[in-house]
Amino acid sequence: MAGAMFQSIMSGLSSIDSILGGFNSLRNQIINAGLGSNPEKTQASFNDWEKLTDKVPELNKLFSKAPSVFIPVTGENYLGQQDPFTNRIRISTDKIGSLLEYAYTIGHEMLHVFDDKYNYKKYIDLFSTNDREFERNRYTIPIYMLFKEYRGYSWEKSLGKDVDVDRTMNAYRVRWALPQKTLDFLNSKIKFLSNLFINP
């Protein structure tokens, strides 16, 4: 009886957590900001970044701490991409879909800007050529770039997007032609780096 009651309580708490997470989702933040009741079905345009970063709390917080310059481009194979170690974010105007997807994209890329501004030095200072645990080598920067993607997709997932972060990370490793040991190293340091990096 006690076991059944415990399971019932835990199930209820899990449901509450799910509901609270839903209230804080990026979709609901967009709706509560008055930008439409169906952002997943609303076609976005390039200049929507202005109202999204102004009115949506999570995006406004990122933009205030990592001001970014959005640059329209065409003919690329991505929707959004930060120019590494700058505050410039390229947006492929011919790839823009829904307002919700656009919001996730600009938030993801602004988090990259934030990390380069506030967290890169912390990361790179860990490494030296004679440190066995954090040896500086040709993979040091690519591992940092992988971790930025991990943070970006984890941010999206925390705000309601259905994304398999682990599978996505491996896809980036393959796309960037990195050996498996880079992802293995990152996975072994995920908790440490997550505690080291500050959040917006």
Which residue is associated with the tokens 């970006």?
152
Task: Quote the pLDDT of residue 23.
Answer: 59
Task: Quote the pLDDT of residue 152.
Answer: 98
How many Å is the maximal CA-CA distance in the chain?
63
Q: How far apart are the first and last CA of the chain?
A: 45
Task: Quote the pLDDT of residue 18.
Answer: 37
Task: Quote the pLDDT of residue 131.
Answer: 85
Residue type, 125: D
pLDDT (tens digit per residue) in 64-103: 999 999 999 999 999 999 999 999 999 999 999 999 999 9
102 CB neighbour count, 10 Å cutoff: 25
φ and ψ of 134, to 5 deg = -120, 70
How would you class 105 by CB atoms within 10 Å of its CB: exposed for 0-12, middle for 13-18, buried for 19 or more?
buried
Task: Quote the pLDDT of residue 22.
Answer: 57
117 CB neighbour count, 10 Å cutoff: 14
Task: Quote the pLDDT of residue 15.
Answer: 36
Contact residues for 132 (Cβ-Cβ < 8 A; gap 6+): none
What percentage of residues in the chain have a pLDDT greater than 90?
Answer: 85
For the chain, the structural domain boundaries read: 2-196
Can you tell me the distance from the alpha carbon of 36 to that of 47, in angstroms, rounded to the nearest whole number?
Answer: 16
Are 40 and 100 a contacting pair, CB within 8 Å?
yes
Task: Quote the pLDDT of residue 141.
Answer: 97
Supply 185's token pair: 């190293």
Are 42 and 36 a contacting pair, CB within 8 Å?
yes
Task: Quote the pLDDT of residue 6.
Answer: 36
Residue type, 180: Q
24 CB neighbour count, 10 Å cutoff: 13
148 CB neighbour count, 10 Å cutoff: 25
pLDDT in tens, the chain (200 residues): 444 433 443 333 333 333 334 557 999 999 999 999 999 999 999 999 999 999 999 999 999 999 999 999 999 999 999 999 999 999 999 999 999 999 999 999 999 999 999 999 999 999 998 888 999 999 999 999 999 999 999 999 999 999 999 999 999 999 999 999 999 999 999 999 999 999 99
Task: Quote the pLDDT of residue 168.
Answer: 97
